[in-house]
Structure 1
Amino acid sequence: MADQATSIRPVNIGNLELYSVETGRFMLDGGAMFGVVPKTLWSKKITPDDKNRIPMAARCLLIRSKSTDRLYLVDNGCGDKFNEKMSSIYSLDFEHSDLERSLDQIGVQPEDVTDLVFTHLHFDHCGGTTTYNAKGDLEHRFSNAIYHVNKRHWETATHPNAREKASFLKENIQPISEYDKLNLVDDRHVFEDGFSMLPFDGHTIGQQLPFIYDDERSLVYAADLIPTYAHVPLPWVMGYDMHPLQTLTEKEPFLNEAAENGWYLYLEHDANHEIITIQKENGKFSVDKTLRIRDLV
């Protein structure tokens, strides 16, 4: 492993060191991101461009365990396999950041990663797993890592319904299916003390959110349950969700716990807000504080 970059300090929760990893920016349709919420409301929170798209982060989380020497990477962004047309549709921006450059700034090379933890396998969460080599063949970027996917989600990803099929790209899923270190985990899988997974089924069946905690602090990698700060209010549910009423049902107890216990919610897709905390007033949830991971040091 390369020497750790001295300019980047980790956040410590228990025996786990946490690093924010930016893998690039992209854009998605604002209407799809906010479902039935009118544009007159959501556009006050996040301004769309002239094509009605809003900026999205692909923010991952690197976790180094001082107890087990494991190096976990949660999700890995869109990747670089899109052709010119698809790159234009999603306005992929790797000038802002890219996966390997961000890891290098921490002092980590892809081969150092021991575990890839996937929240789910939509293209913007697993596209960086593989890349095309000079011969045009797909190769695994994290050659020494075990791939961890929720067992129920794997069934969904490999047998998708017609609506969700476009999110499970063959060039992403097939190499994972053929990988000899694929590990299918059950709901609420525990990786080690202070690091477990929370299952949610509204966005896609078997989405799993990393829950990192000690006696003082808890952080949840919110993935697509709370993709941006604007999605905190209960009815603000994505049009991309396969089961929006399930999302609504899942959000309320989750946000109750977040508000009551002061959880830090780490936002994968919010271009401008990295971590938020939640407050509840008069039965309604809203953002309390906005922070960056370095603020938790």
Structure 2
Amino acid sequence: MDLSDCSFGPFHLYSIETGRFRLDGGAMFGVVPKTLWSRRIKADDKNRIPMAMRCLLVTSENSGRTYLIDNGCGTKFVPKYEEIYQLDHTHSSLHRSLESHGFETGDVTDLIFSHLHFDHCGGTTFYDDRGDIRHTFPEATYHVTQKHLDTATRPNAREKASFLPDNIEPIAGWDKLNTVDDHHEYEEGLSALPAHGHTIGQQLPKITVGDRTIVFMADLLPTHVHLPLPYVMGYDMYPVQTLTEKEQFLKQAVEHNWYLFFEHDTEAEVITVHKENGRYAVKDRLSLSDIPDDK
């Protein structure tokens, strides 16, 4: 488990690997045929592709806050679903990653949820020895958009399988739950971009210092293989909206040379993007540790 970090103005950023899993390759690439996407990423004998659950820990010198953006799928799955999703916590885990950087769960003051699908929020809680659900981060305020909380607590039939009750109910009932609007600013330099195509109310945390920006991509762009505009997940609730959001986002990312931090890419942690022959492509592939500190 090779964990990276960087200083970024008044912020310090730490890559938090919480495990690996697999999802159906066809669902991950929607209408794009396997003959195309399989050239870039290999599927297993059940057509599943490898996925990271890479989260981002952000400490702030200005506010003294310690933010964790998403927290993986957690440990509450029964063996049947561990097998279906090929959950692998031998590669990495939430607790080991935090400890590797010198943190404990009690140090986290704020959980920022990009959204509440199981692979993004399952680590919020765990079952104790008596089978009761406990909160992993007892000191943390939880932040989720109001639009997305409404979606997660009243899901449609198509999205319901991603909103597991033992994940959603403890979050919705947490006494330090804070619901936010689109473009919320957590503090100076840390805000969020809205993206509603994958699921209503998704937020992409965005860290800006001077003319430099890092964006946590969540599921707007799950991997670098998804850079081509038509590569939109079958899991997305509103794929045409995702297409529009991707194009608008990538235009800005190229213009301003944004760093894109991937949650699900097993190969690329951070990239920058350029346009090549009219198509968006990887410009530089980096780790957090490669990003220079211009403080």
TM-score range, shorter chain: over 0.9
1:9 Cα offset (Å):
6.8
Q: Are positions 1:108 and 2:118 aligned together? A: no
Aligned partner of 2:237 in structure 1 is 242
Q: Corresponding residue for 2:273?
A: 278
Q: CA deviation at 1:14?
A: 2.0
Partner secondary structure for residue 72 of structure 1: strand
- Between the aligned partners of 1:231 and 1:162, the Cα distance in structure 2 is 26
**Partners in 2 of 1:227 and 1:181 — Cα distance?**
29
Instruction: Quote the offset at 1:178 in angstroms.
Output: 1.3
| Match of residue 257 from structure 2 | 262
**1:145 aligned partner:** 140
Decide whether the 8 Å contact of 2:197 with 2:238 is kept in 1: yes
Amino acid at match of 1:85: K
User: Which residues of 2 match residues 29-178 of structure 1 at below 5 A?
Assistant: 29-178=24-173
Question: Are the equivalent residues in 1 in contact too, given 2:4–2:287 (CA < 8 A)?
Answer: no
Distance 2:211 2:153 in 1: 39
* Contact persistence 1:25–1:56 (CA under 8 A): yes
Deviation at 1:13, TM superposition (A): 1.8
Measure, in 2, the Cα distance between the counterparts of 1:82 and 1:184: 27
Q: Where does structure 1 differ by over 3 angstroms across 4 or more consecutive aligned residues?
A: 7-10
Cα offset, 1:287, TM superposition? 1.2
Aligned alpha-carbon RMSD (Å): 1.1
TM-score (ref. length: structure 1) = 0.96
Q: Which runs of 5+ in 1 are unaligned?
A: 1-6
Q: Any idea what the Cα deviations from partners look like across 1:220-276, whole Å, max 9, x if unmatched? A: 000000000110110000000000000001111100010111000000000111011
In the alignment, structure 2 segments of 5+ residues that lack a partner are: none
Could you tell me the TM-score, scaled by structure 2's length? 0.97
Distance 1:86 1:119 in 2: 23
> What is the total number of aligned residue pairs between the two structures?
291
Partner of 1:207: 202
- Once the two structures are TM-superposed, the CA of residue 149 in structure 1 deviates from its matched residue by 0.3
1:74-99 alpha-carbon deviations (Å, 9 max, x no partner): 00001000000000000000000000
Cα pair 1:31 1:239 within 8 Å, conserved:
yes
Q: What CA distance in whole angstroms lies between the structure 2 residues aligned with 1:263 and 1:36?
A: 28
Contact 1:14/1:194 (CA < 8 Å) preserved in 2?
Answer: no
